[in-house]
């Protein structure tokens, strides 16, 4: 019984993790950019949802629809204006750029919102769902379903739409895609915009569950890293599998080794994956 509860906890957590990582993985896989801003985008999305709820009474699920286009535009503009200038540079340089931008963003948020943690508490609260002895908080469950839905939507876009296929083509081989008539610069901007959109859209979901603070970005970024390695870079199904796997591993790790070792367990798993299967569970060699 306890194991089933722990497994359920892990899946719910995993769904959220999948959403956090999907955009990050895509940007890394397609543009070869480690987007340090990803964590702060999530936090900014969370603040958007918090203030929308506190001041305007807009439900966080609706805030996702507001956040999505805003963050897409932000990501697109950022990529075109700044990051595109360094697109051919070594990965460490682009990492420095996104790191610097992240410092500006998180300190800007610190200045605007102060460091105090804010908690988005739904009023009335959504309550809990009790299924044959397993208790699941409804807000987490909805968040997980929405997260998986978003990720699924992303996958559909990538596999069915023209622009999605173009993104995948650029990821597979940039020169060949250009030869096929794909406007690579535009695709880069669109992909970065999509990454930002995923981050901004997961913000409201996470804000309902965890307290938000301008400095909680790095925690989410750390999870995204581990999930990328677990699931494979650039692969949305990989991010989903990786996220769910990480959620379950952390949950059971907490049960078997005590909660203080849950994080150690996930990073040990990361190291093992890097040693034995560096392309991840679903990644393919050569595409990372």
Partner 1 sequence: MRPVSIRSIAAAVLAAAGVLLAAGAAAQGVIRIGAPLPLTGPLSPEAQKLQNGMNLWAETANKAGGVKVGAKRMKVEIVYVDYQSNTPRAVQATEKLITQDKVDFLFSPFGSGAAKAASSVSEKYEMPTIAATASSEQVYDQGYKYLFGVYTPNQTLTEPLADLVQKQAAGVQRVAILARNDLFPLAIAQEMEKSAKKRNMNVLYFEKYAIGTLDHASALSQIKALAPHWIFATGYINDLILIKKQMGDLGIEAPVVTMVAGPAYKEFVSALGKGAENVSSAAWWHPAVRYQSKDVFGSTENFNKLFRDKYGLDPDYGEASSAVSGVVLQLAIEAAGTLDRKAVREALAKMNTMTFFGPIKFGPTGQVNSLDPPVFQVQKGKQVVILPTAIKQGSLQLGVK
Q: Which is nearer to partner 1, 99 or 252 (CB)?
A: 252
With respect to partner 1, which residue has the nearer C-beta, 1 or 88? 1
Query: How far is it, in rounded angstroms, from Cα 20 to Cα 144?
Result: 11
Q: For 232, phi and psi rounded to 5 degrees?
A: 100, 135
Given candidates 178, 184, 215, 281, which one binds partner 1 under the rule CB under 8 A?
Answer: 215
Which range touches partner 1 (CB under 8 A), out of 46-54, 154-162, 189-197, 209-217?
Answer: 209-217
Say whether residue 51 binds partner 1 (CB under 8 A): no
Chosen residue from 204, 238, 254, 280 binding partner 1 by CB under 8 A: 254
| Whether residue 224 has a cis bond before it, omega within 30° of 0 | no
Q: Which of residues 138-157 bind partner 1 (CB under 8 A)?
A: 139-140
Least distance in Å: CB of 95 to partner 1? 21
CA-CA distance, 196 to 200, in Å (whole number)?
6
Cα angle value 264/223/229 (rounded, 5°)? 90
Q: Which of 173, 259, 271, 278 binds partner 1 (CB under 8 A)?
A: 259
Q: Candidates 59-67, 116-124, 197-205, 272-280 — which segment interacts with partner 1 by CB under 8 A?
A: 116-124
Q: Which helix (H) or strand (E) holds 219?
A: helix 217-231
Maximum CA pair distance of the chain?
58
128 contributes a contact to partner 1 by CB under 8 A? yes
Helices then strands, each counted (H, E), the chain: 11, 2
């Amino acid at each position: 019984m306890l194991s089933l509860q722990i497994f359920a906890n892990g899946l719910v957590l995993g769904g959220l993790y999948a959403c956090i990582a999907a955009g990050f993985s895509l940007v890394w896989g397609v543009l070869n950019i480690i987007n340090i801003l990803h964590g702060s985008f999530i936090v900014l999305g969370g603040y958007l949802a918090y203030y929308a709820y506190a001041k305007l009474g807009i439900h966080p699920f609706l805030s996702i629809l507001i956040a999505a286009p805003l963050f897409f535009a932000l990501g697109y503009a950022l990529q075109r204006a700044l990051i595109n200038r360094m697109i051919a540079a070594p990965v460490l340089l682009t990492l420095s750029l996104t790191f610097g931008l992240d410092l500006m963003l998180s300190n800007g948020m610190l200045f605007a919102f102060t460091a105090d943690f804010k908690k988005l508490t739904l009023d009335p609260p959504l309550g809990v769902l009790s299924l044959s002895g397993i208790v699941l908080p409804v807000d987490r469950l909805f968040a997980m379903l929405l997260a998986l839905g978003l990720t699924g939507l992303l996958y559909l876009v990538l596999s069915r739409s023209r622009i999605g296929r173009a993104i995948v083509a650029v990821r597979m081989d940039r020169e060949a895609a250009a030869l096929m008539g794909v406007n690579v610069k535009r695709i880069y901007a669109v992909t970065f915009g999509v990454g930002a959109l995923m981050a901004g859209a997961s913000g409201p979901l996470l804000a309902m569950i965890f307290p938000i603070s301008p400095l909680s970005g790095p925690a989410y970024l750390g999870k995204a890293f581990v999930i990328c390695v677990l699931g494979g870079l650039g692969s949305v199904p990989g991010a989903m599998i990786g996220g769910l796997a990480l959620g379950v591993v952390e949950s059971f790790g907490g049960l078997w080794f005590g909660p203080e070792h849950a994080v150690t367990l996930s990073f040990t798993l990361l190291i093992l994956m890097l040693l034995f299967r560096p392309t991840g569970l679903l990644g393919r060699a050569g595409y990372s």
